[in-house]
């Protein structure tokens, strides 16, 4: 069940040669994040912004644009002025999965240029403390006995959490209801409250 998800740092049509010949940045830089505050991508983006501010002596600001499987942030980045001052902290949810599920107004292969791999993060199975299971075996047994009692959360339709949840259902021979959110933070609150029971999420979240 452990899967790795790569967060790809990308800029919209960035000319590295042009940037390298000038002082960068010349104005505040936006780091666009397609998930809500408090989630794994947001945490990584804020760490990245802090380090880039220190090393490049500029201002790097995280902007959260959650929704549509991370594609809102990607769309805004793709349509921004291609001067390297609007960057996307991308995930494979928005860049590899969503284009096959959602009709986009931009081409992620043509309108975004990858700069570098920032981090890979493992996915883990999270279960609310109100679920009386201490192992995957016990969880599966409960889900088979009372399938109507189980819902799993994700950060959106087509997200890696969504795919992991569906994959778990298929592999375990169970059926749970998918409840999509605009980010992990709200999903975690609902898991704690018992509104949803399980979720696959990154360790950073």
pLDDT of 31-83, one tens digit each? 999 988 888 889 889 999 999 998 888 999 999 998 887 889 999 999 999 99
pLDDT of 178-197, one tens digit each? 999 887 888 999 999 999 99
Which stretches of 103-142 are assigned E, i.e. beta strand? 113-127
Asked whether 87 and 20 are in contact (CB, 8 A), the reply is: no
- For tokens 């960035």, name the residue: 14
What is 4-121's CATH superfamily? Bordetella uptake gene, domain 1 (3.40.190.150)
Which part of the chain is CATH 3.40.190.150? 4-121
Beta 86-91 vs 29-33: how paired, if at all? parallel
- For tokens 């979240």, name the residue: 205
- Quick one: pLDDT at residue 12? 37
CA distances in angstroms from 39 to 34, 78, 147, 156, 189, listed in the order given? 10, 23, 28, 13, 12
In CATH, the architecture of 122-202 is 3-Layer(aba) Sandwich (3.40)
């Amino acid at each position: 069940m452990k899967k790795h998800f790569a967060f790809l740092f990308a800029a919209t049509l960035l000319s590295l040669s042009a940037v390298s010949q000038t002082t960068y940045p010349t104005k505040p830089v936006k780091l666009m994040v397609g998930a809500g505050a408090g989630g794994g991508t947001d945490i990584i983006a804020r760490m990245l912004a802090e380090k880039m501010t220190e090393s490049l002596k500029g201002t790097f600001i995280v902007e959260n644009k959650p929704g549509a499987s991370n594609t809102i942030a990607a769309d805004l980045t793709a349509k921004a002025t291609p001067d390297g001052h609007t960057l996307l902290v991308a995930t494979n949810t928005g860049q590899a999965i969503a284009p096959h599920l959602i009709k986009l107004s931009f081409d992620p292969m043509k309108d975004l240029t990858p700069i570098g791999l920032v981090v890979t993060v493992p996915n883990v199975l999270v279960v609310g403390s109100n679920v009386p299971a201490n192992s995957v075996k016990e969880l599966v047994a409960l889900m088979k006995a009372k399938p109507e009692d189980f819902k799993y959360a994700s950060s959106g339709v087509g997200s890696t959490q969504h795919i992991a949840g569906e994959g778990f259902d298929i592999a375990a021979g169970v059926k749970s209801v998918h409840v999509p959110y605009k980010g992990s933070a709200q999903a975690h609150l609902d898991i704690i409250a018992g509104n949803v029971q399980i979720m696959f999420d990154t360790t950073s979240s």
